[in-house]
Amino acid sequence: MAKTGEKSSHESYWVELLAKLGNDKQVREVAGKISKAYVNTGRRSTLTNNNVKLRLGIALFNAGVEEKPYYNDEYEEYALGQREEVPVEAGNDEVISEEVGTFPMGFVFINPLKNKIGLPLQFHRCLATTKNQFIPKTKYVSGTVPQYEKLIENLSFVQKRILGGQPLTLAEKILYAHLWDPKKINNIVKGETYLKLKPDRVAMQDASAQMAILQFMLSQMSSTAVPTSIHCDHLIEAFKGSDKDVATAKITNKEIFDFLRSSANRYGIKFWGPGSGIIHQVVLENYATPGELMLGTDSHTPNAGGLGMIAIGVGGADAVDAMADIPWELKAPKILGVKLTGELNEWTSPKDVILHLVGKLTVRGGTGHIIEYFGPGIEKLSCTGMATICNMGAEVGATTSLFPFTSSMYSYLTSTRRQQVAHQASLYSSYLKADVDAKYDQVIEINLSELEPHINGPFTPDLSTPLSKFSDFIKKNGWKDEIKAGLIGSCTNSSYQDMSRVVSLTTQALDKGLQPKADFFITPGSEQIRETMERDGHFEILEKVGGHVLANACGPCIGQWKRTDIQKDEENAILTSYNRNFRNRNDGNPSTMNFLASPEIVTAMTFAGKLSFNPITDTLIDKDGKPFKFSSPFGDELPSEGFAEAQIDTLADRTADIIISPDSTRLQLLEPFQIFPGKEYDNLRILVKVKGKCTTDHISAAGPWLKYKGHLENISNNTLIGALNAENNKVNVVRNALTGTDDTIPNVARYYKKNGVQWVVIAEHNYGEGSAREHAALQVRYLGCPIIIAKSFARIHETNLKKQGVLPLVFKNDDDYNLITGSDVITTIGVVGLKPDKDVIIRVRRGKNGDYKEFDIETKHTMSEDQIEWFNKGSALNLIAYKNSSRNL
Ligand code: SF4
């Protein structure tokens, strides 16, 4: 160990450095102090010469003295160095703090010159809490460290060469930094241009992961192209409490979990088993990184925007793109700026920001937009609070939501053991915020100081009522003034801050001998949160007032709630801190009125048991018969002792078999689709000529069919059952051209398939609109459909069809739709040698026994060269598999 006064072995470096600093006295003084502090505190035993260079190099980069941060030879990157922490002893910390300050993990920053050198001003907050801040001792680091250099290189090419140097919003910066091949772009028009992007990560929940993995298997890749994780959270029913419910789910869903676990192991995917947590909370705690791009197969994926990430909810087919290294397409979104000013009041929480905003924008107001928050108000928000706001941005239909990098993100990353990510982000913080003078397509301003708590619902999240007016709202509607259950937690609101504020209220009530008047349920978002709450005594308090702790899973938020306190269809009201409240969502009862509020408001109102209760102004009666009014809630943003180390992701034997029972009705391996035989299609039958709307719900219905999501053959029994037949004005009734009898659409399709007859669908405008459900494309292809002819296609579904090797053709003349009848037979001209922009002729034959007439209809398509390759190989994944096998020859 170095002794005080010992000569620095890296003296020459300091001499060189000080020479570089020139005559700036302040900077020289501080640099000298750093050197001295290290030596005097004996830190040199743990800090190598390289470490010191790194720290000072970073400070000099931030100060503009150096053009680039110090290059770390050891790790071959511009980095803050250590993969392992430097042990920090309290005594040493204090000595250094006096002179220059410290960061957790022993990082040095230069306090006296923070404007000139060292980390940006926004890190004052870290400075203030340094001494008390928990310094994780674990060596475990989740996720990956972003490669900001590469992203910035891409961005700067796009910004300078394509956009003429115009200032950009943060969302634009992150998207354009992730362009697949920026050199192939000529211009970007928001709302028009389709961007081909390269996501950094994929996360999937257990319901949607099944078909995504089954498809990915067809690629014959040995591992996913980007880091990927699976989270078992949707299939656990809330009934008897956490442990029992998880145990039951492991039995009832064994085949699904076995399949997901075994395939995750095989492909190097991180697997989070049942009970480990809800996808978005786990992602926030482990994988979300500022400035990166993630796809998640769940609509509340934008939760990660609370950590400055662009995180977009997609269908399984999109996730497969990223996993299989296929460019992922997104229409360049417009950017809706939300300027936050002021500071939240004591009873108001981040949830109220989004409850208020959803009311303003309505459920469609964010469509085609990314919501980007900015303004002085964001500096006072916790990282998890920002995640709540981004999570519920899905309720306005926004592509995603995000915040710029803030000091609370730094603290959260550090507290969740991702120091390296935190420091990289701070190093590149100018990339992680909007450019000065960036233009938003629309701006909404919210003054947090004027915001009051809101309650939204019932039945729609955009029916937003300020708390002070809620009592009148209930009276006006004549609803019973009673709350049957209060539910807090879920992926939206189960942060340490949320829970500790709830506990502050519960403690007050407990002291006054009060118990909730309604059932009270708590859903922790992850095992990490659950274990931390348990360690810090939160559950002891919550359970003392009769709170039921449910599994770390979606449970009542997604209808997995075996409720026993009401009769079927009984009208009743519940209050939740969740994000979505459509009819039937929580308990399958259409008469349950489900209101959304912050966890604090839900908790206080659950004690009252009345919808009219306003905890800010109203009183309850305590055990001594005296009036009791809640004091405002308070709580720690982060646990002072750090998060408990809970279950982490698992990755086991990568050579083990993927487990699918041959008798399974819920899972089935996919067979690669046939390649294009290289000759024109002949004798194609018309399965159905659809009249009017044909959404992905009409093509592949949800509801009870969802349990077959992993079994293409079984789920195909719902194919087009919602389609209205233009021939007979009946839903799901068509004529079987081979037998002459009427039957359901899936039955006729199966009959054709069995008899080797291929078929087409004729449709009107916007075929395949609605959710991006890959099954809608997979099923028609599976049952024998090579072509769909429509007046127009919904863009996402059109791409999904192309990926599965189906050719979407569009009538050149809309009226030609009327020329075709359900009993016609079709031949193609122009599918062989298909080229972009080259039309395809549909030759229609009508009549029988040699007595028939023929006429031609012109159609066009939007297939690119790449997509034509998909078609020729039978599907996009076939092409990947083909390329992989050629590479391996
Ligand atoms: Fe979706 Fe609710 Fe689960 Fe969150 S908790 S992932 S919103 S179902």
**Strand, helix or coil for residue 725:** strand
- Pairwise CA distance, residues 17 & 21, whole Å: 6
Q: Is 580 a catalytic residue?
A: yes
**Closest-CA residue to 805 (of 883, 881, 759, 871):** 871
pLDDT band at 127 (very low <50, low <70, confident <90, very high): very low
pLDDT at 703: 76
Going by the DSSP 8-state scheme, the letter that residue 143 receives in this structure is S
pLDDT tops 90 at residue 807: yes
Confidence of residue 24 (pLDDT cuts 50, 70, 90): low
**Rounded mean pLDDT, 147-158:** 95
Q: What HEC string does 216-268 produce?
A: HHCCCCCCCCCCEEEECCCCCCECCCHHHHHHHHHHHCHHHHHHHHHHHHHHC
Strands 851-860 and 807-811: antiparallel
Spatial CA neighbour of 205 closest among 265, 253, 271, 263: 271
Whose CA is closest to 599, among 588, 615, 586, 619? 615
Query: Both tokens of residue 627?
Result: 């009036």
**pLDDT score at 93:** 26
Q: Is 511 among the catalytic positions? A: no
Work out the end-to-end distance of the chain between its first and last CA atoms, rounded to an integer number of angstroms. 56
Enumerate residues lining ligand 1, CB below 6 A. 233, 278-280, 298, 300, 490-491, 554, 557-558, 578-579
38 falls in which pLDDT band (50, 70, 90)?
Answer: very low
Res 41: pLDDT: 38
Q: How many C-alpha atoms does 117 have within 13 Å on its Cβ side?
A: 24
One-letter amino acid of 440: Y
Would you place residue 68 in the very low, low, confident or very high pLDDT band (cuts 50, 70, 90)? low
Locate the ligand 1 atom nearest the alpha carbon of residue 280 and give its number.
6
Taking only the tens place, the pLDDT of each residue in 431-466 is: 999 999 999 999 999 999 999 999 999 999 999 999
CA of 234 to the centre of ligand 1 (A): 8
User: What's the Cα-to-Cα distance from 356 to each of 614, 725, 759, rounded to whole Å?
Assistant: 17, 43, 50
Among 683, 679, 841, which residue's Cα sits nearest to residue 757?
A: 683
Catalytic residue among 206, 233, 318, 824: 233
Q: What is the pLDDT of residues 253-312, one digit of tens each?
A: 999 999 999 999 999 999 999 999 999 999 999 999 999 999 999 999 999 999 999 999
Give yes or no for residue 140 having a pLDDT over 50: no
Distance 642 CA to ligand 1 centre (A): 25
Say which of 178, 773, 797, 861 is annotated catalytic: 773
CB 114 within 8 A of CB 107: no
- In the chain, the percentage of residues whose pLDDT exceeds 90 is 76
CA of 855 from ligand 1 middle (Å) equals: 53
Q: What is the mean pLDDT of residues 791-804?
A: 93
Q: What is the pLDDT of residue 787?
A: 98
Which residue among the candidates 591, 771, 792, 823 is catalytic per the annotation? 771
Q: Half-sphere exposure (CA, 13 Å, Cβ side) for 600? A: 30
For residue 511, what are the contacts with CB-CB under 8 A and spacing of at least 6? none
Tell the residue nearest (CA) to atom 3 of ligand 1: 554
For residue range 745-760, what is the model confidence (pLDDT) as tens digits?
999 999 999 999 999 9
pTM score, whole prediction: 0.81
Question: Is residue 888 over pLDDT 70?
Answer: no
| CA separation for the pair 129, 541 (Å, rounded) | 27
Q: How confident is the model at residue 46 (pLDDT cuts 50, 70, 90)?
A: very low
Q: Model confidence at 618, in pLDDT bands (50, 70, 90)?
A: very high
Beta bridge partners of 853: 846
The C-alpha atoms of residue 517 and residue 481 are separated, in whole angstroms, by 12
Which of 55, 231, 234, 666 is catalytic? The answer is 234
Greatest Cα pair distance in the chain = 107
Centroid of chain to Cα 475: 38
pLDDT class for 34, splitting at 50, 70, 90?
A: low
Residue nearest to atom 4 of ligand 1 (CA): 491
- DSSP code of residue 538: H
Binning pLDDT at 50, 70 and 90, where does residue 889 land? low
Which range, of 13-17, 273-277, 284-288, 706-710, averages the lowest pLDDT?
13-17
What six digits make up the tokens of 448?
């947090």
Show the DSSP H helices in 337-406 as ranges: 350-361, 383-391
Residue to mutate, 557, 576, 587, 596, ligand 1, most ligand atoms under 8 Å from C-beta: 557
Q: Quickly state the pLDDT bin for 11 (edges 50, 70, 90).
A: low
From the alpha carbon of 279, which atom of ligand 1 is closest?
6
**pLDDT tens by residue, 368-419:** 999 999 999 999 999 999 999 999 999 999 999 999 999 999 999 999 999 9
Which pLDDT band, with edges at 50, 70 and 90, does 797 fall under?
very high
3-state secondary structure of 553: coil
Question: Known catalytic residue: 161?
Answer: no
**Across residues 691-696, what is the average pLDDT?**
94
Q: How many other CB atoms are found less than 10 A from the CB of residue 835?
A: 11
Cα 491 to middle of ligand 1, angstroms:
6
The answer on pLDDT for 19 being more than 80 is no
Bridge partners of residue 371, in order along the sequence: 336, 401
Q: Determine the distance separating the centroid of ligand 1 and the alpha carbon of 305, expressed in angstroms.
A: 16
* Residue 234 a catalytic site member: yes
From 418, 501, 530, 580, the catalytic residue: 580
Confidence of residue 761 (pLDDT cuts 50, 70, 90): very high
CA dihedral of residues 452, 506, 498, 455 (deg, nearest 10): -30
pLDDT score at 773: 84
Q: Per residue in 211-246, pLDDT tens?
A: 999 999 999 999 999 999 999 999 999 999 999 999
| Whether pLDDT at 91 is above 70 | no
Q: How confident is the model at residue 818 (pLDDT cuts 50, 70, 90)?
A: very high
- Quick check: 49 pLDDT over 50? no
pLDDT on residue 576:
98
Query: What average pLDDT does the chain have?
Result: 86
SS3 state at 452: coil
The backbone torsions φ and ψ at residue 12, rounded to the nearest 5 degrees and listed phi first, read -60, -35
* Residue 476 token pair: 């006006």
> In the prediction, which pLDDT does 92 show?
26
Provide CB contacts within 8 A for 852, sequence distance 6+: 845, 846
Q: Which of 745, 766, 664 is nearest to 709 (CA)?
A: 664
* Sign of the dihedral through C-alpha 859, 865, 867, 868: positive
- For residue 851, indicate whether it is catalytic: no
Say whether 364 is catalytic.
Answer: no
Atom of ligand 1 nearest to the CA of 233: 3
* CA triple 227-233-239, angle to 5 deg: 170
CA distance 675 to 218: 14
Cα–Cα dist 151/149, whole Å: 6
DSSP per position, 296-325: ESSTTGGGGGGGT-EEEE--HHHHHHHHTT
Rounded CA separation 705/243 (Å): 28
Q: Smallest Cα–Cα separation from 340: which of 382, 372, 368, 367?
A: 372
Cα-to-centroid distance, 392 and ligand 1 (Å): 11
Q: What percent of the chain has pLDDT over 70?
A: 83
In sequence order, what are the beta bridge partners of 724?
731
Distance (angstroms) between ligand 1 centre and the Cα of 233 equals 8
